[in-house]
Structure 1
Amino acid sequence: MSKYTMFGQLKAHPGKRDELAKLMLESADTLEGMEGCIFYIINESVDDPDVLWIMELWENAEAHAASLKNERVLAVIQRCRPLIAGVSGVPVRPIGGKGL
């Protein structure tokens, strides 16, 4: 399967998670119609008040890489950057299941 999945974690500066989530949700339309993006879901952590988890599914790794060069995506990243204390991600390879 050529699909590409990323589980990303954004750690906001203390007390800034809601502001970061709001900015990201307002900007979610940036990915509408973006070639190769199947889903991009923003989640808030239940256990950590400063953490957001991002679930992404792309047609392939190249589509994901191309999205990070898109001017609109780069603008969203710039707007969010002052609120972010840390970023980590785990690329995984889907092997099957409902929705694929």
Structure 2
Amino acid sequence: MYGLIGKMRAATGKRDEVLAILREATTGLPGCLSYIVARDPADTTAIWITEVWTDAESHKASLTLPEVQAAIARARPLVTGFDIQIETEPVSGVSMPAG
């Protein structure tokens, strides 16, 4: 498996809009086992993203999908940067229903 943990920064006042774009664009991606977006409770501009994929190739291929490219184009003007991106090798986990 292949994993990523990243911290993204949204423009002031735009975090919820970026979160909505990420939620819309990350449903049913081939090879994606888990895609979690979270607010940072201590920073009103920060978004944490935790991803688990069957393999690195599935993640790379997802970035070429038309719906993902459209989401990136919509979010780009609202994102001010990326603070952290860490690759991981997941070994186990539990999937929970969205809620």
TM-score normalized by the length of structure 2: 0.85
What secondary structure is seen at the aligned counterpart in 1 of 2:13? coil
Aligned sequence identity (%):
35
1:1-100 equivalences under 5 Å are: 3-29=1-27, 32=28, 34-87=29-82, 88-94=84-90, 96-99=91-94
What RMSD in Å do the two structures reach over aligned CA positions? 1.6
Which residue identity is paired with 2:4? M
Cα distance, 1:41–1:89 mapped onto 2, change above 3 Å: same
CA–CA distance in 2 between the matches of 1:35 and 1:18?
25
C-alpha distance after superposition, 1:51-88 (max 9, x if no partner): 11111000001110111111111111001111000024
What secondary structure is seen at the aligned counterpart in 2 of 1:19? helix
CA contact (8 A) 2:14 2:78 kept: yes
Which residue identity is paired with 1:99? V
CA–CA distance in 2 between the matches of 1:4 and 1:59?
6
Structure 1: 4+ residue segments shifted above 6 A: none
Tell me how many residue pairs correspond in the alignment: 94
Unaligned segments of structure 1, at least 5 residues: none
CA–CA distance in 2 between the matches of 1:98 and 1:16?
31
